[in-house]
Amino acid sequence: MYILGISAFYHDSAAALIEDGKIIAAAQEERFTRKKHDPNFPTNAIKFCLDFAGIDINQLDAIVFYDKPLLKFERLLETYYAFVPNGLRSFITSMPVWIKEKLFLKRIINEELVKIGFKKGQNSTKLLFPEHHLSHAASAFYPSSFEKAAIITIDGVGEWATASICLGEGKDISILKELHFPHSLGLLYSAFTYFLGFRVNSGEYKLMGLAPYGNPEAKEVVEYVEIIKTKLVSIKDDGSIWLDQDYFDYATGLKMVNEAKWEVLFNMKTRKPEDPIESKHCNLGLAIQQVTEEVVVLMAQEAKKITGAEYLCLAGGVALNCVSNGKLQKQNIFKDIFIQPAAGDAGGALGAALAAFYIYYGNERVIDYTTDAMSGSYLGSEILAHEVEAVAKKYKAVYQRFDSFDELASVTAELLSNENVVGWVQGRMEFGPRALGARSILGDPRSEEMQKKLNLKIKYRESFRPFAPSVMAEHVADYFDYSGTSPYMLLVHPVNEKIRKPLPANYSGFDLREKLYQLRSSLPSITHIDFSARIQTVHKETNPRYWSLINAFKQLTGYGVIVNTSFNVRGEPIVCTPDDSYRCFMRTEMDYLVVGNYLFSKKLQPAWQEKDNWQEEFVLD
């Protein structure tokens, strides 16, 4: 039985294919179109999934869309009705789009499928529409290794639900509690993302990275938290929240917040994207991060209380807040937590397919208790040797081909140890927003200059942005205050005391730049300013090549950990093909590129002839 799941028309459209419950392939549309967070129908992602499985679209038993568009339209109408006469401008702007496109989504989906070769009415393929948060819940529970688990989903908004607590047991999922629009933890966090000058639906992780630059001992942080909890949001004991809509504009307006009221409330102007970042911005970022963590923990405690489950699954955009996830894990409310690596809307495509297989068709669930079913999230397109050679021929690129991967790993490890920046493209592309060693840019974590170099000369982005460590799973406790697994880079934990460096007595009074370049550990490039790190544990079973590279680096340097960031520049989706990789390599100050068994040195490449216009090509996020 083949089931295709799709998500589209909001942001991060994607497709995922399962065969008899097994996840075969999954990818975001942005990787193929090169439009970050592409919301359009995932034609290319669908074609990839079908081609990878070697099947025709008409062989599908079901095609499943990740939410119910008519329920969304109902919510839109009822919201405008509830806020009359406010929202007229927004109503006039959005109604034509809904009436022309989204209201008739079933027809549009069928039309797009026909373009791919779908023969409507000539096969038995069903078109199904589970609810948004059920798709999220299914994406987390069914790939987990848990027979029974509480499931928490938190995002901006689906149809009506903005968060849910469910119970997963065997093949069944029961929705126990829901929080409804306009009250939403995801939208609250996005409101602060907007106010602090970052792009909504893409910049939330920047806000998370900015928060540690706030001073937790500052009176300003305490005051901001108090303002948030008394003026903006009322937090209940079960983790449900109520937002005062007088301060927000997302329900009926064209912006996230009422800027005038927020500027009075926090005594600061709305920050523009390229404005300098000041201590007050950092402190406000820390305040909303603390509030978010409090709500998530309360919701987890409630989930434990009403389900009695010993395990927890997380999905929805807020589940990508790895700082919150790490704090939640330290609470020990549950024995273990599984977080869907594609926790946002892209993962909804996978959840929709799994929900159809287990709930609609009623198939029994077979669990491999040794690991989850995401295959390391390496579910995208793969690199083939002839593609690399074709790209080299196209650009007259100079390369060295290695017959022995062990030799390539040793050479690459030595390059890294000499503070070179290396693009690393191997095997199948990752599904989800994190680069996990298949489409990554790598560096030496011991380097004091690596974070600055990667941000300013490779990624062309804000200098405060932290980088993640990829560490051999068996050695994670050697460097971090953590002994578990984190294969999807979704948990933040502190670095070990033994590798920390003492800070100056007046450190808390430093400004952002001074804090940024203060030496904090023997692995400065992956140690955030609060001594935390967003950990990826690398497992030989799921990514033997990446594990072997890190092992070679350990043999050379004594450290089984390297810097890992996504292979892209600011505003660009993560690279997909050898061509994407070479173009990005040549447009940046990257030193070396490894694609499959091929090594490219920047010094040996012909001069780049194309106009270096990536800033024009990609909308800056």
What pLDDT is recorded for position 280? 96
Which residue type does 542 have? T
- Mean pLDDT per block of 10 residues along the chain (621 residues) reads 95 96 98 96 98 97 87 59 57 60 76 92 90 96 98 90 96 97 94 94 90 91 98 97 93 84 97 91 97 98 98 97 96 97 97 98 90 96 96 98 97 97 97 97 93 82 82 97 96 95 82 79 92 96 97 98 95 96 95 98 91 59 58
Q: Provide φ and ψ at 561, rounded to 5°.
A: -150, 140
End-to-end CA distance of the chain: 39
Rounded CA-CA distance 33/45 in Å is 10
Topology of the domain covering 146-339: Nucleotidyltransferase; domain 5 (3.30.420)
Residue 439 CB neighbour total at 10 angstroms: 30
Which residue type does 96 have? P
Contact 64/350 with Cβ under 8 angstroms? Answer: no
DSSP 82-119: HHTTTTHHHHHHHHHHHHHTGGGHHHHHHHHHHHHT--
What pLDDT is recorded for position 202? 84
Topology of the domain covering 1-143+343-372: Nucleotidyltransferase; domain 5 (3.30.420)
Q: Which residue in the block uniquely carries the two structure tokens 């996978």?
A: 350
**In 3-state terms, what secondary structure has residue 429?**
strand
Contact 435/530 with Cβ under 8 angstroms? Answer: no
Q: Chain-centre distance of CA 81, in angstroms? A: 34
What are the C-alpha distances in Å from 38 to residues 9, 12, 244, 450?
9, 5, 32, 31
Residue 413 CB neighbour total at 10 angstroms: 24
Contact 151/124 with Cβ under 8 angstroms? Answer: no
CATH code: domain 378-617 is 3.90.870.20
Closest to 542 measured CA to CA, from 341, 350, 378, 367: 378
Strand partners, 163: 154, 179
Q: Provide φ and ψ at 619, rounded to 5°.
A: -70, 120
Residue-level length of the chain? 621
What are the C-alpha distances in Å from 552 to residues 238, 407, 425, 479, 525?
48, 10, 17, 17, 19
What pLDDT is recorded for position 179? 96
Contact 436/378 with Cβ under 8 angstroms? Answer: yes
Rounded CA-CA distance 347/141 in Å is 12
Rounded CA-CA distance 511/565 in Å is 25
What pLDDT is recorded for position 612? 57
Domains 146-339 and 378-617 share a fold: no
Q: Which residue in the block uniquely carries the two structure tokens 């024009």?
A: 616
Give domain limits for the chain. 1-143+343-372, 146-339, 378-617
